[in-house]
């Protein structure tokens, strides 16, 4: 089994980055691979509550995160420092997450076979 970590580092709105990263993540999950997600830097903004669907957006990113559980994917890993830098904490996020410290990331990466950027 391949262990894949999807690393989200960019904000959720604009373009097809989020949707197309999700599509690959869910496809790998459908192949029974171990798939997890890690939110860093502006990636943590994916989980900001109150995002409204606009006509311009063809994809509502918060809904994608809320559906993760249905695919048997664990709650996202979120970097503590990235939250802090943006004045956020886990309780202000859209869904339950697992918080990790920045200096533990290299160790975390060792648990995966593939790192996939967004």
Partner 1 sequence: MNKLKTNTPPDGFLKYTLQVNASPYQGESADLAFGFANAVVAKGHVLHRVFFYRDGVYHALGELLPSEEEVAKISRWSKLAETSGVDLGICSAAAQRRGVWAPGGESRLAQGFRVAGLALLAESIIETDRLLVFG
Partner 2 sequence: MGVLHVIRRSPTEGKAWDRCLERMAAGDALLLVADAVYAVGEKLVNGRVGIGEIQIYALLPDMLARGVGQGELGPWVRPIGFDGFVDLTLVYERVLTW
Residues that bind partner 1 (CB under 8 A): 2, 4, 16-17, 20, 23-24, 27-28, 30-31, 33, 114, 116-117
Contacts of 103 (CB under 8 A, 6+ apart): none
Provide the minimum distance between the beta carbon of 95 and partner 1 in the complex, in angstroms, as a whole number: 24
Contact positions vs partner 2 (CB under 8 A): 7, 9, 40-41, 102, 105-107, 109, 112-115, 117
Provide the minimum distance between the beta carbon of 12 and partner 1 in the complex, in angstroms, as a whole number: 16
Residue 16's binding partner, choosing from partner 1, partner 2, none, with beta-carbon cut-off 5 to 8 A by kind?
partner 1
CB 61 within 8 A of CB 12: yes
Q: What CA–CA distance (Å, rounded) separates 89 from 71?
A: 25
Q: What CA–CA distance (Å, rounded) separates 29 from 85?
A: 31
Give the dihedral sign, CA 23/93/118/10.
positive
Residue 9's binding partner, choosing from partner 2, partner 1, none, with beta-carbon cut-off 5 to 8 A by kind?
partner 2
């Amino acid at each position: 089994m391949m262990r894949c970590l999807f690393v989200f580092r960019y904000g959720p709105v604009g373009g097809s980055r989020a949707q197309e990263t999700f599509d690959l993540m869910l496809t790998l999950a459908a192949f029974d691979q171990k798939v997890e997600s890690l939110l860093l830097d502006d990636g943590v903004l994916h989980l900001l509550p109150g995002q409204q669907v606009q006509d311009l957006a063809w994809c509502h990113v918060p809904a994608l995160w809320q559906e993760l559980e249905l695919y048997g994917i664990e709650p996202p890993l979120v970097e503590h420092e990235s939250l802090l830098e943006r004045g956020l904490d886990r309780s202000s996020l859209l869904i339950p997450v697992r918080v990790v410290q920045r200096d533990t990331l290299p160790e975390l990466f060792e648990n995966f076979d593939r790192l996939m950027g967004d």
